[in-house]
Amino acid sequence: METINGYVDHIVWRNPDNGYTILNLIVDGEELTCVGNFPDIAEGENIEAQGDYTVHPTYGNQFKVASYEQKAPEDEEAIERYLASGAIKGIGVALAARIVRRFKADTFRIMEEEPERLSEIKGISARKAMEIADQVNERKDLREAMLFLQQYGITMNLAVKIYQRYGADVYQMIRENPYRMAEDIEGVGFRTADEIAMRVGIHTDSDFRVCSGILYTLMQASNEGHTYLPEEELSGRAARLLEVTPELIESHFMNLAMDRKIVMQNRGDEVCIASMMFHRMEENSAAMLKALDTQYDISESVVRAQIAQIQKKTGIELEAHQADAVVEAARNGLLIVTGGPGTGKTTTINCIIRYFEEEGLDIFLAAPTGRAAKRMSETTGYEARTIHRMLEVSGGPEGNGGFERNEQNPLETDVIIIDEMSMVDITLMYALLRAIPHGTRLILVGDTNQLPSVGPGCVLKDMIASKAFHTVCLTKVFRQASESDIIVNAHKINHGEEVVLDNKSKDFFFLKRYDADKIINVTLQLIVQKLPNYVHATPFDIQVLTPTRKGNLGVERLNKILQYYINPPEDGKKEYEHAGRIFREGDKVMQIRNDYQLEWEVRSKYGLAIEKGMGVFNGDMGIIEEINRFAEQMTICFDENHKVEYSFKQLDELEHAYAITIHKSQGSEYPAVVIPLMSGPRMLMNRNLIYTAVTRAKNCVTIVGDEQTFYEMVANNHEQKRYTGLADKIAGLNK
Ligand SMILES: Nc1ncnc2c1ncn2[C@@H]1O[C@H](COP(=O)(O)OP(=O)(O)OP(=O)(O)O)[C@@H](O)[C@H]1O
């Protein structure tokens, strides 16, 4: 091992999570590339490093640093170089020279111990002297805090965030209550905080730990869709998490309620406990829905006469419930329209749009996902946007002022129609309602038999269950068996009736296979050979939908296999590996969380941006167009030619999408769907799930697998219970 001394001329690259850094060090006037872990280093600093010289196949000679020490610059030249490097704001080249000329080798001691003396120098006021001293100390404090936090296994990136939040209080916070971080800092969950607490030696029954664990349990429950938990369920879950008794958990409920972190409410003979956030969202949403539900004094016969006119013009005669929906839309501020596939929801929306248009009203159309919005645009012929886009994403967290449109800056229109309402969770509903002023009509359209929203809440069902709002349920199926077995079978599935699997259909097939690898083989043949011609689509458009993420037919395994066959490695096709996944040019990928910061642009054929916007959302699908290793980014092309640059660091937000879960497919429609099916957990394998999968297909559904599993799913009407409070809160307003 060798020792070198030098100063950092330039930091070439740095990984903020682990401090891995490539930098140019000037050693005896010569430039040397050094690589290694540098938790905190700035350009201009002097270091003494131990390590070995190596030769990198591409980059040549390097020094691999095993350990290093920061050295206060010893000679005056080094001190001046450091100060002139811009490391301290307000000191440039000229001032650095003046300072060092005056204080010589004593410069740093003066800055730390007698900073007021800096004002002896021309160009430095007393205030500026103190600002410089603060910065010098801050850097020193930051460095010390970093070292302290790293003892507890905290990454650099997180350590900076923690230090920024708590400053000098960081030591006390970590020693006394690291659980505060789980509430205060994004990116720190209960588990991280608990791990730190364990290292610090905090007891398992500490009050802070129990309270934080309770809030964490409620948050975990919201990931399963619940907005509250019954008291017993909460104490049981939290007790298992913290490995303490349920009694200890229960003894903290009252304190948390007094601190306004949770809300306890009696519902029947049950005590329901919700986090304050979800309680408020539900309570405010209930009140806002009620406020929108005004009645308009419009005569029914006048509306019906208008409908007759519209029917004459369009040549479509509405069925009784459809016409009722138009009448209710005209006479009420809030209306819900539900129905399964092919029951005429779109036809009804179209008539409602025409009616309001003729009244001279402005109409906004929106849906929860990009694909659903696109479909709404196609079927209505009017522009439909995602709800996120309509509310104008502002870059902040969802539900917390994350949209430009809110009560201060509401949507300016007369009528808002939302499609695919079953997918809207309470967070998005709350954000939507905040942006709708009194006097705007709101029409919510959806299919209650679809899977519930991925996010917490059960908004559409709860609104219907409250019986507080006008609801029109469309039941007549307009498409006949000869036209579409997909629709007819979807309704049969929904009613638990027998579906004939004789493959005499034109659009509904069941290929019986009983072995996972055979099922995958058939799936591949369908995507690559059989279906593209049959449904006039590309393999990209044919979507594999599967119930699970894990297992032989889970998303993860299917994606690896499908990628290998559909988009195999090839010379000239660039690849990049991230977290065990190989992303390759030509891959089909999906964004897996809402990202309001990502910018997209539509480019002209000369590559110039002709339209720009922000936000890529959970479920958006695209193709990797280009991987640029030099710039460490890849270009993904999403629907409507929206091109987005992902830096390699953002790849956690992307997954392959050759196969996706049925849950993720909600609100989307594909020309053809292939569903590999083998037995799985009963809780998951229910009627809702197979119904949702089948209704995603426009032209063709093929299920490949075990017919027994299919029959069991159709028979299994057991839905996973969601604990949600919106219905009760709406009902409570009537009392
Ligand atoms: N009153 C009607 N008379 C005759 N045909 C109708 C009527 N209403 C709807 N249809 C036809 O039934 C089919 C399904 O209607 P529509 O697309 O409106 O239903 P939907 O509920 O929106 O279906 P999906 O959920 O599958 O999109 C369409 O072909 C439509 O033209």
CATH number of the domain residue 206 falls in: 1.10.10.2220
Q: Are residues 17 and 48 in the same domain?
A: yes
3-state secondary structure of 734: helix
Is 346 annotated to bind a ligand? Reply is yes
**If you measure from the C-alpha of residue 341 to the centroid of ligand 1, how many angstroms do you get, rounded to a whole number?**
8
Backbone region of residue 401 per phi and psi (left: phi > 0; alpha: psi in -120 to 50; beta: other values) = left
pLDDT in tens, 605-654: 888 888 888 888 878 899 999 999 888 899 999 988 899 999 998 898 99
Q: Which ligand 1 atom minimizes the distance to the CA of 487?
A: 26
Is 446 annotated to bind a ligand? Reply is no
> Using an 8 Å Cβ cutoff, are 219 and 188 in contact?
no
Closest listed residue to residue 280, CA positions, set 265, 269, 291: 265
Q: Which residue has a Cα nearest atom 14 of ligand 1?
A: 342
Q: Are residues 399 and 458 in the same domain?
A: yes
Q: Which of 218, 240, 273 is the last residue of a domain?
A: 273
Best of 316, 347, 349 for a ligand 1 pocket test (most atoms within 8 Å of beta carbon): 347
Q: Is the pLDDT of residue 544 over 70?
A: yes
**If you measure from the C-alpha of residue 478 to the centroid of ligand 1, how many angstroms do you get, rounded to a whole number?**
6
Q: Is the pLDDT of residue 396 over 80?
A: no
Q: Which ligand 1 atom minimizes the distance to the CA of 318?
A: 1
Q: Which ligand 1 atom minimizes the distance to the CA of 447?
A: 25
Q: Are residues 685 and 579 in the same domain?
A: yes
**If you measure from the C-alpha of residue 3 to the centroid of ligand 1, how many angstroms do you get, rounded to a whole number?**
78
The answer as to whether 160 is a domain residue is no
pLDDT in tens, 319-333: 999 999 999 999 999
DSSP string, 493-521: HHHT-----SS-SSSEEEEE--SHHHHHH
Q: Which ligand 1 atom minimizes the distance to the CA of 349?
A: 18
Q: Is the pLDDT of residue 224 over 70?
A: yes
The answer as to whether 149 is a domain residue is no
The answer as to whether 286 is a domain residue is no
Q: Are residues 454 and 499 in the same domain?
A: no
Q: How confident is the model at residue 74 (pLDDT cuts 50, 70, 90)?
A: low
DSSP 118: G
Segment holding 26, helix H or strand E? strand 20-27
Q: Which ligand 1 atom minimizes the distance to the CA of 695?
A: 26
Average pLDDT value for residue range 58-66: 85
Contacts of residue 635, Cβ cutoff 8 Å, sequence gap at least 6:
624, 625, 626, 628, 643, 644, 645, 646
Crossing angle (nearest 10°) for helices 426-434 and 276-292:
50
The answer as to whether 410 is a domain residue is yes
Q: Is the pLDDT of residue 563 over 50?
A: yes
The answer as to whether 150 is a domain residue is no
Q: Are residues 399 and 498 in the same domain?
A: no
Crossing angle (nearest 10°) for helices 345-358 and 370-380:
70
**If you measure from the C-alpha of residue 84 to the centroid of ligand 1, how many angstroms do you get, rounded to a whole number?**
72
Q: Give the rounded distance of the alpha carbon of 525 from its chain centre.
A: 33
Best of 307, 311, 338, 346 for a ligand 1 pocket test (most atoms within 8 Å of beta carbon): 346
Best of 338, 343, 422, 478 for a ligand 1 pocket test (most atoms within 8 Å of beta carbon): 478
Average pLDDT value for residue range 121-148: 82
Q: Which residue has a Cα nearest atom 19 of ligand 1?
A: 344
- ipTM of this complex prediction, to 2 decimal places: 0.97
Phi then psi for residue 355, to 5 deg, are -60, -50
DSSP string, 688-723: HHHHHHHTTEEEEEEEEE-HHHHHHHHH--PPPP--
Beta bridge mates, 589: 622, 656
pLDDT in tens, 87-108: 778 888 888 899 999 998 888 8
Amino acid identity at 522: V
Q: Are residues 192 and 243 in the same domain?
A: yes
Helix boundaries (H) for 528-661: 531-535, 555-566
- Rounded Cα distance between 493 and 508, Å, is 13
The answer as to whether 521 is a domain residue is yes
Pocket of ligand 1 (CB under 6 A): 316-319, 322, 339, 341-347, 478-479
Q: 582-587, long-range: CB within 8 Å, 24+ apart, which pairs? A: 583/624, 583/627, 583/634, 583/651, 583/654, 583/656, 584/624, 584/627, 585/624, 585/625, 585/626, 585/627, 586/623, 586/624, 587/563, 587/623, 587/624, 587/656
Q: Which residue has a Cα nearest atom 16 of ligand 1?
A: 344
Q: Are residues 129 and 192 in the same domain?
A: no
Q: How many domains does the chain have?
A: 4
CATH number at residue 48: 2.40.50
Q: Which residue has a Cα nearest atom 1 of ligand 1?
A: 318
- Rounded Cα distance between 552 and 238, Å, is 32
pLDDT at res. 718: 86
**If you measure from the C-alpha of residue 666 to the centroid of ligand 1, how many angstroms do you get, rounded to a whole number?**
20
Percent share of the chain, pLDDT over 70? 98
- Rounded Cα distance between 48 and 354, Å, is 77
Q: Which of 416, 446, 476 is the last residue of a domain?
A: 476
Q: Is the pLDDT of residue 683 over 90?
A: no
Q: Is the pLDDT of residue 205 over 80?
A: yes
CATH number at residue 352: 3.40.50.300
Q: Which ligand 1 atom minimizes the distance to the CA of 474?
A: 21
- Work out whether the CA dihedral 134, 140, 141, 142 comes out positive or negative: positive
Q: Are residues 471 and 499 in the same domain?
A: no
- Rounded Cα distance between 160 and 148, Å, is 12
3-state secondary structure of 314: helix
Q: Which residue has a Cα nearest atom 31 of ligand 1?
A: 347
156 or 154, higher pLDDT: 154
pLDDT at res. 496: 93
The answer as to whether 693 is a domain residue is yes
Q: Are residues 199 and 220 in the same domain?
A: yes
The answer as to whether 158 is a domain residue is no
Of 55-64, 217-226, 372-381, the least confident: 55-64
Q: How confident is the model at residue 58 (pLDDT cuts 50, 70, 90)?
A: confident
Q: Which residue has a Cα nearest atom 23 of ligand 1?
A: 342
Amino acid identity at 47: I
Q: Which residue has a Cα nearest atom 12 of ligand 1?
A: 478
Q: Is the pLDDT of residue 598 over 80?
A: yes
Is 343 annotated to bind a ligand? Reply is yes
pLDDT at res. 481: 57
Q: Is the pLDDT of residue 480 over 70?
A: no
Please, is 619 exposed, middle or buried when counting C-beta atoms within 10 Å of its C-beta (0-12, 13-18, 19+)? buried
**If you measure from the C-alpha of residue 654 to the centroid of ligand 1, how many angstroms do you get, rounded to a whole number?**
35
> Using an 8 Å Cβ cutoff, are 724 and 456 in contact?
yes
640 or 528, higher pLDDT: 528
Contacts of residue 608, Cβ cutoff 8 Å, sequence gap at least 6:
none
- Rounded Cα distance between 137 and 158, Å, is 21
Q: Are residues 135 and 225 in the same domain?
A: no
- Rounded Cα distance between 249 and 731, Å, is 31
Look over the chain and give the mean of its residue pLDDT values, rounded to a whole number: 89
State which residues form the domain around 308.
293-476
Q: Are residues 83 and 181 in the same domain?
A: no
Q: How confident is the model at residue 399 (pLDDT cuts 50, 70, 90)?
A: very low
Q: Is the pLDDT of residue 395 over 70?
A: no
Q: Is the pLDDT of residue 192 over 60?
A: yes
Q: Are residues 516 and 657 in the same domain?
A: yes
